Amino acid sequence: MMSDKISSLKRGRRLTDTIAEYLTTTVRELAPGAKLPSENQLAKRFGVSRSAVREAISGVASLGLLEIRKGAGMFVRAPFVGNLQFRGVDYSNLANTAKLLEIRTGLDAAAARIAAIRRTAEEVKFLQEMNAAAFRPDLSIAETVEADLAFHLAIVRATQNEYFVSIQTFLLDHLRAGIHFTRTLESYSDEMMEEVRSEHGQILQAIEDRNPDLASRLAEQHVLNARRRMRDAFASQVVPDVR
């Protein structure tokens, strides 16, 4: 089947164009992070020199579709989100954390809704594992932050929408910093920690039950509750309410 696909592409085309088209098509069929054939494998498959393969790879890489890791190979790159950037974000600034939570309110709700429809059994299992790790008492705050982050990333990946993944990948460092801030805050209160544990569990259950409306409402409320916990702990004028 693969050989038929290659043969049809090769007809009447420059070999470098053929290889580039093959890579572009393959990238769009695979998930971000998937490994692609090596230069040697492509050279043998198309019966060309490695220099021709490199030329094709260079063209596709310039489009931002490939990630080349020295010594490891080529991988599908998550879609690039234009020139979006956050300038001068101070992660120790409470108001900045509140603004990032505002962004998460809509994104998390939408992702949870779609994840509840499309999630696989394997994704549910991973969500369960990360949720359990996020509340292990023997782990450091930094370790629970990574587990908490992985839990939310797994929900986004369960949407099977590469644009959601791309946006979340761009926001990764900001999300990590925000989660670290709120996790540190929550670590001082058993009541707060139990609230978060309960909220995570309910979101997970709604996704497992394939209940998109409930999953969306719970995910949105989870972020709003994080803001409320910040307001309770600090000056309310620094963290304005969202209604």
Domains delineated in the chain: 2-76 (1.10.10.10), 94-233 (1.20.120.530)
Residue 218 — very low, low, confident or very high, per pLDDT cuts 50/70/90?
A: very high
pLDDT band at 115 (very low <50, low <70, confident <90, very high): very high
Q: In degrees rounded to 5, what are phi and psi of residue 32?
A: -55, 135
Q: Determine whether 210 is exposed, middle or buried from the number of CB atoms within 10 Å of its CB (0-12, 13-18, 19+).
A: middle
**Higher-pLDDT residue of 122, 4:** 122
Q: What is the dihedral of CA 154, 145, 238, 105, to 10 degrees?
A: 10
Nearest CA-CA partner of 111 in 219, 226, 227: 219
pLDDT category of residue 13 using cuts at 50, 70 and 90: very low
Q: Tell me if residue 68 falls in helix, strand or coil.
A: strand
CA distance 237 to 180: 22
For residue 145, pLDDT over 80 is answered with yes
Tokens of 150: 């992985």
Is the pLDDT at 81 greater than 80? The verdict is no
What is the rounded distance in angstroms from the CA atom of residue 193 to the CA atom of residue 162?
A: 32
Q: How confident is the model at residue 89 (pLDDT cuts 50, 70, 90)?
A: low
> In this predicted model, which residue has the larger pLDDT, 62 or 106?
106
Beta-ladder partners of 68: 74
pTM for the full predicted model: 0.60
- Residue carrying structure tokens 């994104």: 107
Tell me the average pLDDT across 90-109.
77
